Amino acid sequence: MFDGRLKARLDPALDALARRLHRAGFGADAVTATGFILGLGAALAIALEVYGLGLGLILVSRLADGLDGALARQTRPTDLGGYLDIVLDFIFYGAIPLGFALADPAANALPAAVLLMSFYANGASFLAFALMAEKRRLVTTARGPKSLYFTTGLAEAGETLLVFVLACLVPAWFGVLAYGFAALCFVTCAARIALAIRVFR
C-alpha cells in the first residue's frame, strides 16, 4: 500500500550505498544471501524470546533486501538474482511468524498459522499473476524495474515489516497483529484474483 512512496524516498540513499558497495567488490547475490541469513537469525532470536536482537536483525536483513536490487542495477540484473530475491524473501516472511509460534506456542501458534495461511494465499495470487503476465508480455514499472510483474495491494513488504517490528516491540500483541494483518493479506489476495479475472478473461 505504501511501498511505492517508501521506494521513492529510500531509493536515492540505497543507490548511493550500492555504488560504494559495488566499488568495494560486493555483488547483489551475496547481499541477497546475507540478508536471508540475517532474517533466519532474526527468526531464531524471536523463537528464543530475544526480541530486541530479532528486531535489529530484521531491520538489517530488510536493508540488505533493498540493497541487492540497487546493487544489481549497478551492473546487470540477472534472472538468477531475481529468482533468489523473491524465493528467499518468501522464506523470510514465513520464518518470522514461525519464530513467534515457537516462542509461545500456547498464545501464538494459531494466529501464526492463520497469518502463514494468508501469506500462502497472497503469495500464490502474486506469483500466479506474474506468471500469466509474463506469458502475455505484460509489463509494469509501478515498483521500478523488477524481474517479474509486481501487482500492488494493501499488504506489501512495507506493511509486513511494520507488523514484524511492532510484534518485536510488543510481543504480547502478536496475536492481534497477526489476525489483523492476515485479514489485509486475504483482502489483497481477493483483489488480485479480481484483477486477474478482468485482465486474463
Query: Higher-confidence residue: 127 or 91?
Result: 91
3-state secondary structure of 175: helix
First to last CA, the chain: 26
Q: d(Cα 58, Cα 42) in Å, to the nearest integer? A: 6
State the pLDDT at residue 1. 54
Q: Single out the residue of 142, 192, 172, 158 nearest to residue 62, CA to CA.
A: 158
Q: Single out the residue of 19, 29, 46, 22 nearest to residue 178, CA to CA.
A: 46
**Considering its fold, how many domains does the chain have in total?**
1
Confidence of residue 118 (pLDDT cuts 50, 70, 90): very high
Q: d(Cα 74, Cα 2) in Å, to the nearest integer? A: 25
State the pLDDT at residue 97. 98
Tell me what the mean pLDDT of segment 38-67 comes to.
Answer: 96
Tell me what the mean pLDDT of segment 42-63 comes to.
Answer: 97
Q: Single out the residue of 196, 159, 201, 165 nearest to residue 181, CA to CA.
A: 159
3-state secondary structure of 142: strand
Quick: pLDDT tens for 25-45: 788 888 999 999 999 999 999
C-alpha dihedral over 147, 134, 158, 68, to 10 degrees? -10
Burial class (CB in 10 A: 0-12, 13-18, 19+), 32: buried
Number of H helices, E strands in the chain: 7, 0
3-state secondary structure of 144: strand
State the pLDDT at residue 4. 57
**Model's pTM, two decimal places?**
0.86
Structural domain of 36: 3-200
Q: Which three cell numbers stand for residue 171?
A: 510481543
Q: d(Cα 8, Cα 169) in Å, to the nearest integer? A: 27
Quick: pLDDT tens for 148-160: 556 667 778 889 9
Q: d(Cα 110, Cα 97) in Å, to the nearest integer? A: 10
Quick: pLDDT tens for 165-201: 999 999 999 999 999 999 999 999 999 899 889 888 8
CATH code at 180? Answer: 1.20.120.1760
Confidence of residue 126 (pLDDT cuts 50, 70, 90): confident
